[in-house]
Amino acid sequence: MSRFPAYRPRRLRRSEALRRLVRETRVVTEQLVQPLFVVPGDGVERAVESMPGVAQRSVDRTAEECRRLADVGVPAVLLFGIPEEKDARGRGATDPGGIIPRALHAVRRATPGLVLITDVCLCEYTDHGHCGVVREGDVDNDATLELLAAEALAHARAGADVIAPSDMMDGRVGAIRGALDAAGFSHLPIMSYAAKFASALYGPFRDAAESTPAFGDRRSYQMDPANAEEALREVALDVEEGADVVMVKPALPYLDVVRRVKERFGYPVAAYQVSGEYAMVKAAAARGWLDEARVVDESLLAIKRAGADVIITYFAKDVAARRRA
């Protein structure tokens, strides 16, 4: 490698056009996913206090929002459903006439080309808020698998394009893959939340999804934030069981994991910029302490540079609209 003074890196930083010419990483709207929260009712649009700019919407309003997203070029949404009623087994999750199947039909009609990804988990549907069925104070892994498979099937039958299990039970990707294949959905991809850490950054999401655990926490199923080697084992399991896209979550504090997953597996990698990452930027920007647009662009760029393909972010619509303008 040449040295100073033969090599002067500043030469290529002299104008924006030059900088653009040699830029290594680009964030493209085509790889952004907007999460949405669907609630019962009609004409409902309720702001989520801890996530300024994010709302819970009824099915009709969700369809309208999807039209706006498609108009600015957002290619995909990740749907979370909040049911009419919650119970111990999360029955609303497997109901073929439940909130997500209804949303899928309405959104498909409104925006036929939008990629519809559905979050598969029980925590929005259980009265205790855990991601599986609880037996003697603990989440029962194997008893949860059949419910997750049934939930995925309900979404598949209602027209989901991608199934995204976020529960972190062992063996869920295999269970879901098997159920989908047996029912004629072998073409349907699974985007698994493969390395999902037990993070303090999910707080605002639990307001939006009304899924805060009534007792305990999720550390017996989500990963210890200290573990990167284990994250690679988790991803290996999901890949073996049939995952098509593997996700790392949260995003910015776990970019080392994103990079290692990309290098080790060469699979499509998704990174989820979670609710707490969103809320921190929003809160600082509201006080005039940070320039929101610049911080958002820089954070998405960093996620891409680390090796992510798909980025799930609550900023997707804003970013897409800004680029359109």
Q: Which residues bind ligand PBG (CB under 6 A)?
A: 119, 121, 123, 131, 166-167, 202, 205-206, 211, 218, 274-275
At its nearest, how many Å lie between Zn ion and the CB of residue 126?
9
Active-site annotation holds for 304: no
Return the number of the residue (106 or 207) whose C-beta is nearest Zn ion.
Answer: 207
Return the number of the residue (155 or 282) whose C-beta is nearest Zn ion.
Answer: 155
**Which does residue 148 bind out of Zn ion, ligand PBG, none, counting CB within 5 to 8 angstroms by kind?**
none
Active-site annotation holds for 196: yes
Instruction: Determine if 121 is a binding residue for Zn ion (CB under 5 A).
Output: yes
Return the number of the residue (198 or 237) whose C-beta is nearest ligand PBG.
Answer: 198
Instruction: Determine if 123 is a binding residue for Zn ion (CB under 5 A).
Output: yes
Return the number of the residue (119 or 234) whose C-beta is nearest ligand PBG.
Answer: 119
Cα distances (Å, whole numbers) of residue 55 to 65, 151, 169, 170, 194? 10, 24, 29, 32, 27
Instruction: Determine if 257 is a binding residue for Zn ion (CB under 5 A).
Output: no
Number of residues that bind Zn ion (CB under 5 A): 3
Q: Among residues 78, 131, 154, 195, which is the contact residue for Zn ion, using CB under 5 A?
A: 131
Residue with the shortest CB distance to ligand PBG: 205
Q: Do the beta carbons of residue 139 and residue 167 sit within 8 Å?
A: no
Stretch that binds Zn ion, among 76-84, 128-136, 244-252, 313-321 (CB under 5 A): 128-136
**Which does residue 205 bind out of Zn ion, ligand PBG, none, counting CB within 5 to 8 angstroms by kind?**
ligand PBG
Name the residues annotated as catalytic: 196, 249
